[in-house]
Amino acid sequence: MSDVSRRAFMHVAGVAAAVVGATSTNAAVGNPSRPTAGKIKVVSSANGLEATRKAYEMILAGSDPADAVVAGVGIVEDDPNDTSVGYGGLPNERGIVELDAAVMHGPTHRAGAVASLQNIRHPALVALKVMRRTDHVLLVGAGALDFAKAHGFPEENLLTELSRKIWLRWKETLSDKDDWMPDPADNDIPVADFFRSRSVPLVQSAATRDVKVASDISPMKFRRPTGTIHCAGMTRLGDFACTTTTSGLAFKIPGRVGDSPIIGAGLYCDNEIGSCGSTGLGEVNLQNLCSFAAVELMRNGASPEEAGMEVLRRVAKKIEPRLRDKDGHPDFGLIFYLLAKDGRHAGVTMWGPEKFSVTDENGTRHEDCTALFTRP
Ligand code: ASP
């Protein structure tokens, strides 16, 4: 057994002992047959199936896990049809795409991040450069753009025709107290489908984030689109890295920064323990430092699933009334993707059903998230 895997094993044994003493409800935690570090594993959000495959292959070929997960999410940053990340991401309220991303590297415990970055397609790669080529952790706005350009990243317009039309439809149907008017003859199917898929019956919610949309889907309320990709990987030696990259909350106030580039909120890893990252409403992650909290719960013996569910329960308990539905439940999505040093993993969600992506020695697949609440 190498030094690294011996350390990993001793840590796992310590956790098992602590948990057996602390709780008897999780028999699996004390199960000596569960895997220890030694197997490569990559987890990601549902939109990251190909990201996990790519990162797994790179780790298998000997890449540093940070390079691997950043290359994995790069596939989705490039995808014009994913309106939540990179190229084609939905813009801020002025129609400008502003991206947030971060990377954390377990072996060095270093991190890099960028926020409110415009015109650069691969913010996770810029975050990796911040981690490796500066003495800083977070660069924002114009400074982040200057830094990216200094490192040779090309500037480009990230607004695709689809994301521009979705933004314009949102703007034109937002209020009858301004001068922007939708084209009554407009029947752009992809745009209409976008709004339809994010609309909920009026009775569902009184949350102030809901906004009026085009009459063709009335009477519905529009769920503000969020979306992001998180990806975390572990090498055979139990070394972690994770990344989160996003265009953030659609139609946000310019300059709004979510949880994705904030270490401890949108992602966190500790090489002795594991990793957690998140997608969903960033503000609650910022208020609760959810990814850090989940890793700390794992340090104290919780399984990935227990840790994630406990953080979801804490969020659900503390949120303001305006973020609750008529039953008092959280009126937003929040998902955590967790990976532990012993190889266990979990996806947990505020609202199910939801899926997450995994690649390990058993292949590439979607798995079900464990849900705190389930929609009928
Ligand atoms: N967490 C991201 C943010 O708030 C959005 C998302 O994950 O959907 O910026």
Enumerate the domain spans of the chain.
1-30, 41-158+225-374
Ligand 1 centroid distance, CA of 213 (Å): 21
**Is residue 264 in contact with ligand 1, taking CB distance under 6 Å?**
no
Nearest-10 Cα torsion for 338, 340, 346, 348: -40
266 CA closest ligand 1 atom index: 1
Q: Indicate the SS3 state at residue 154.
A: coil
Q: How confident is the model at residue 199 (pLDDT cuts 50, 70, 90)?
A: low
Q: How confident is the model at residue 195 (pLDDT cuts 50, 70, 90)?
A: confident
Q: For the whole prediction, is pTM greater than 0.75?
A: yes
Ligand 1 centroid distance, CA of 214 (Å): 24
Q: How confident is the model at residue 187 (pLDDT cuts 50, 70, 90)?
A: confident
Q: Give mean pLDDT, residues 141-165.
A: 96
Pocket test for ligand 1, best of 223, 228, 229 (most atoms within 8 A of CB): 228
Q: Indicate the SS3 state at residue 20.
A: helix
Q: Give mean pLDDT, residues 231-244.
A: 98
The CA distance from 151 to 1, in Å, is: 41
**Is residue 98 in contact with ligand 1, taking CB distance under 6 Å?**
no
Q: How confident is the model at residue 81 (pLDDT cuts 50, 70, 90)?
A: confident
The CA distance from 181 to 172, in Å, is: 5
pLDDT over 70, % of the chain: 82
pLDDT over threshold 80, residue 356: yes
pLDDT over threshold 50, residue 31: no
**Is residue 248 in contact with ligand 1, taking CB distance under 6 Å?**
yes
Rounded to the nearest angstrom, the gap between the alpha carbon of residue 69 and the centroid of all alpha carbons in its chain is 13
Q: For residues 46-81, b (16+ Cβ closer than 10 Å) or e, as one string?
A: bbbbbbbbbbbbbbeeebbbbbbbbbbbbbbbebee
Q: What per-residue confidence (pLDDT) applies to 223?
A: 59
Computed over every residue of the chain, the mean pLDDT equals 85
Q: What per-residue confidence (pLDDT) applies to 33?
A: 40
Q: Give mean pLDDT, residues 281-301.
A: 97
Ligand 1 centroid distance, CA of 101 (Å): 10
Q: Which of 83, 226, 228, 370 is catalytic?
A: 228
Ligand 1 centroid distance, CA of 283 (Å): 8
Q: What per-residue confidence (pLDDT) applies to 224?
A: 62
**Is residue 199 in contact with ligand 1, taking CB distance under 6 Å?**
no
* Rounded to 5°, angle at Cα 199 from 181 and 179: 15
Residue 52 is among the residues annotated as catalytic for this protein: no
**Is residue 205 in contact with ligand 1, taking CB distance under 6 Å?**
no
**Is residue 279 in contact with ligand 1, taking CB distance under 6 Å?**
yes
The CA distance from 103 to 27, in Å, is: 34
**Is residue 258 in contact with ligand 1, taking CB distance under 6 Å?**
yes
Q: What per-residue confidence (pLDDT) applies to 330?
A: 94
pLDDT over threshold 90, residue 345: yes
Of the listed ranges 9-13, 160-164, 288-292, the least confidently predicted one is 9-13
256 CA closest ligand 1 atom index: 9
In CATH terms, the fold of domain 41-158+225-374 is Glutamine Phosphoribosylpyrophosphate, subunit 1, domain 1 (3.60.20)
